[in-house]
Structure 1
Amino acid sequence: MTTRNQAALDFLLSRRSRPAKTLTTPVPTRDELGDILTAAARTPDHGKLEPWRFIVLEKPALSRLAKMIPDRAAALDIPDDKLVKAVAQYANADLAIVVVECPVISDKVPEIEQTYSAGAVCLSLLNAALASGWGANWLSGWASHDTTFCRDGLGLAAHERVAGLIHIGTETNAPPERPRPDLTAKTTWVIT
């Protein structure tokens, strides 16, 4: 057993995402994002395929994407309440990092394991931002799963998809603690 890192364990036991709608400026600088992205890239990755990449969206890009959403909502017959929420996710944000899943053809590593790696990057990115003192939230939403929006707005290739958008900024207020899973109901111990 290695030495216990109590500070890291305490952080993980108390970590809490901050709702994206409560985040504001300032946001991390490019230099500050360097450490956060470096930490996120240190994720489980069977075969060292790196089946993911980052797109950093600053305010002008987020505003441009927000303006694309109404046309896509109309084309997809998205209800008004979901349209409003999707526009706000982009229009009200100051910084978001898109984690793009980009699977690599491999005889050794199934695509599902590459999907898991992209999800692990999202969580590592979220935790790195929180550990750095920023507020952060992992979101997706219907627009991030629309291939036309992703192609035209984010420049994704046909084989790529959004694993998540990590919004990062300064939190305006701390959210209340939320109920956590009942571990006795979620855990099975196999002893024989």
Structure 2
Amino acid sequence: MNFFSFGRPSQPGAAWHPVGLASALPDLSLDNEDCQVTQACKAFTIPKTAGPQDAPVEADINQPGEDLKDQVLVFKYKGKVHAIDHQCPHQSFPLSKGSLFDIEDFGITLSAGITCPKHAWSFDIFSGQADRGNYKLKIWEVQLRDPLTSTADSTDKEVWVRRKQRIG
């Protein structure tokens, strides 16, 4: 757990939701010719009114008619698990069809981003900030936990997510 995070605090009383094992998320990297999120991510529907007893429902990211507003997109990029809103905050397009990239300055990697393929806007996947306009992508908190029913030789972790508090 990162205690020195500069991100926003969690919503008080916000529930954590289990979304599966970390091993189920293939690790994306820029070594791939096409670093699209679609084949290596999962989307889960978590209504804003859901309580801790309500389990997330896995959504079909290839189904265009799905309602994206209550979905979280979970994927692994360069060894770190990320959770973001599935819906682009600018034009509501599914970000699962987007591409990941490193945000660099003079060859030094500063962060990572995702580009919406509908209009080519990009969002930082750590802060949510857009590359233009005042739009902000919602970022979810992620925790990796030991499974309750783990075996002694298992090193796999469960992925849990929860919404971050929205300020302003």
Q: Give the alignment's TM-score, normalised by structure 2.
A: 0.30
Looking at secondary structure, tell me which structure has more helix per residue.
Answer: 1
- Indicate the structure whose relative CO is greater, using CA pairs within 8 Å and at least 6 residues apart: 1
Looking at secondary structure, tell me which structure has more strand per residue.
Answer: 2
Q: Give the alignment's TM-score, normalised by structure 1.
A: 0.27
Q: Which has the larger radius of gyration?
A: 1
